[in-house]
Structure 1
Amino acid sequence: MTTHAQGLSNPANSQPGDALITAHDLTLRYGSKTALERASFSIPKGRVVGLLGHNGAGKTSLMKALVGLLPADGSLSVLGLSPRHQRNALLEQLCYIPDVAVLPRWAKVSELMTLMGGLQPRFSAARARELLKRTSVSESDKVKNLSKGMVTQVHLALVAAIDARLMILDEPTLGLDVISRKSFYEMLIEEWCDGERSVLISTHQVEEVESLLSDVMMLDEGRLVLNISLEDMDKRFVALSHDPATAEAIANAHPLLRYRQQGGRSAAIFDGAPPAEIAALGERIRPSLVDLFMALTRNPALHAKRA
């Protein structure tokens, strides 16, 4: 049984001058449909932020607004610029890989590097070559002869070779096997993140990225229900592992989520420390990001079946 929490937005601590993205009451609409409703948040420099949400929650719409592809109501500043009105200047300092990103199949990798050099003044071919050395791809390879995982690595190498301050990735490893996904994220963290630049990643592979993230933002049906650093998340949310005999008493304390752990033992997640008499009924454990995601969001497909 899940109880859906409301109003759990809690922006991560940051200094105003450090913010690369600042949004206030950001609202996105497609005709009569609201994709994002009055979201307020900021992303400081030097962060790796996971953007989580079920399909249709508003993740891609938000990312498109950040790069100036969608108009928005409210206030939005990215790298101190208006994404809609100063898009050309913004894209000189921002990297973006959309969920439908493709590379021309006819092109050689070397030709793509030449193309990037002509399109993006901050692109470094030398840097791209260094990044490609971490892969099994050569400059003479044609895209059509590469596996999907290799194409994704080439795409990251090209984008990460741009001297940008912010990278936005929308499901960058969609359709890749686990080894390719691991290789992608290793290159991203080791070769691009330097404590000054920030990354915003939208993904469904929550378990795989949790260890990489410094912060998490969760969207639920267009609402920003959580915006918090993982450090503060561990302090704020409490999970109790408990025996079946205490299940009723714990349920009466209204946890955000009750679930089964591996091995069959029951657990419950609370927003804040539960009363001492409830805490004494179980053993405190760290709630995973997946469990917290289940606690704070609803699955539209399951909801439709129950309606």
Structure 2
Amino acid sequence: MTGIQIQELTKRFGDNVALQNVSLTFQPGKIYGLLGRNGAGKSTLLGIAANRLFADSGQVLIDGEPACENDRAQKKLYMMSEKNLYPKDMRVRDVFRWSERFYGSFDRQQAQVLAQQFGLNTKKRVKELSTGYTSIFKLIVALCLDVPYLFLDEPVLGLDANHREMFYHLLLKNYADEPRTIIIATHLIEEVANLIEEIAIIDEGRLLMSQSVQSLLDSGYCVSGKAGDVDAYAAGKKVIGEDVLGGLKTAYILGSCDRQALCDSGLELSKLNLQKLFVELTKKEGEQ
């Protein structure tokens, strides 16, 4: 059995339930978006898989082996997270050197090339890096490791627009050169929408859905027009959200489209947007 299996995972921090009976599978050779609002449980799930946290119940299997306290399983993955686990007084170039010794598969020459492209001064100590360059430093380590499972938890924290574009380009090139499972945990949906093939949405510690991006977007649609006409068309359908501007309305609907009724009503049909779909699915009561 290959891939990563999350089996009925539950984790609490005091009275806070971070994960509640979550089960899903990350298959080999795909780019996943693990999506959720801040505090939804994304980092906790990846942290348990990476052996940084321990579940209260359930387990994670990596290629059929338990992930917990298993060096053979853990050497197959690398997790880049917001937390900095590197010695703060160590210089970046020395982190690259020790990464090569520790992992064996680390490409130190490529790391130096990427550092030049991003303008990262490898003579600096880790503690001297800005928030953005700390993220860049950790991303370079991640991209230069030859492991089958790569976890990127909020990878573009502090990066400016140019550096984010560089990272996304390099990530796709890295994946094209050597396909592997990449899991991007983020709440910045719009930026990763064109990168990810599969999606898993977590909300308040529960798994809302797990499916391909294309099948999710094909599962619904938007209709726009006069508010009364939209209401009449949407009656009895699964409406997950609405936007109203003056006398106009847009409804976001899951299910099959009644094209004849749309033609008769004169409403405008459009495709679902991944970010808008995510926002509507995770919207809390009282939020606009």
The count of corresponding residues between Structure 1 and Structure 2 is: 284
Show the counterpart of 1:36. 19
Show the counterpart of 1:266. 249
* Matched letter for residue 22 of structure 2: A
| Structure 1: runs of 5+ lacking an equivalent | 1-16
**Counterpart check, 1:26 vs 2:9:** yes
Tell me by how many angstroms 1:223 deviates. 1.3
Give 2:169's match in structure 1, choosing from 179, 186, 206. 186
Deviates more, 1:165-174 or 1:94-103: 94-103
**Counterpart check, 1:233 vs 2:216:** yes
CA 225–279 in structure 1, closer or farther in 2 if over 3 Å, else same: farther
- Whole-angstrom distance in 2 between the partners of 1:267 and 1:78: 43
Show the counterpart of 2:110. 127
Task: Indicate the SS of the match to 1:114.
Answer: helix
CA 106–25 in structure 1, closer or farther in 2 if over 3 Å, else same: closer
Show the counterpart of 2:68. 84
Task: Indicate the SS of the match to 1:201.
Answer: strand
Identity %: 27
Give 1:287's match in structure 2, choosing from 255, 272, 284. 272
Cα pair 2:222 2:250 within 8 Å, conserved: yes
Aligned 1:75-114 pairs, distance under 5 A: 75-86=59-70, 88-101=71-84, 103-114=86-97
Tell me by how many angstroms 1:256 deviates. 1.3
Show the counterpart of 2:283. 298
- Whole-angstrom distance in 1 between the partners of 2:282 and 2:58: 24
> Which structure has more RCO (C-alpha within 8 Å, separation ≥ 6)?
1
Q: CA RMSD in A?
A: 2.8
* Matched letter for residue 121 of structure 1: G
- Whole-angstrom distance in 1 between the partners of 2:108 and 2:6: 34
Show the counterpart of 1:53. 36
* Matched letter for residue 113 of structure 1: F
Show the counterpart of 1:12. none
Tell me by how many angstroms 1:225 deviates. 0.8
- Whole-angstrom distance in 2 between the partners of 1:149 and 1:217: 27
Aligned 1:79-228 pairs, distance under 5 A: 79-86=63-70, 88-101=71-84, 103-143=86-126, 146-192=129-175, 194=177, 196-228=179-211
* Matched letter for residue 55 of structure 1: N
**What is the TM-score when the length of structure 2 is the normalising length?**
0.86
Cα pair 1:117 1:123 within 8 Å, conserved: yes
Task: Indicate the SS of the match to 1:163.
Answer: coil
* C-alpha distance after superposition, 1:200-247 (max 9, x if no partner): 111121111111111111111111111111121222122223333413
Tell me by how many angstroms 1:278 deviates. 4.8
Deviates more, 1:51-60 or 1:106-115: 106-115
Task: Indicate the SS of the match to 1:211.
Answer: coil
CA 74–148 in structure 1, closer or farther in 2 if over 3 Å, else same: closer
* Matched letter for residue 256 of structure 1: I
Tell me by how many angstroms 1:298 deviates. 2.7
* Matched letter for residue 76 of structure 1: V
Tell me by how many angstroms 1:77 deviates. 0.9
* C-alpha distance after superposition, 1:44-75 (max 9, x if no partner): 12211111112221111111111122333234
Show the counterpart of 1:6. none
* Matched letter for residue 79 of structure 1: D
CA 251–236 in structure 1, closer or farther in 2 if over 3 Å, else same: closer
- Whole-angstrom distance in 2 between the partners of 1:34 and 1:119: 35
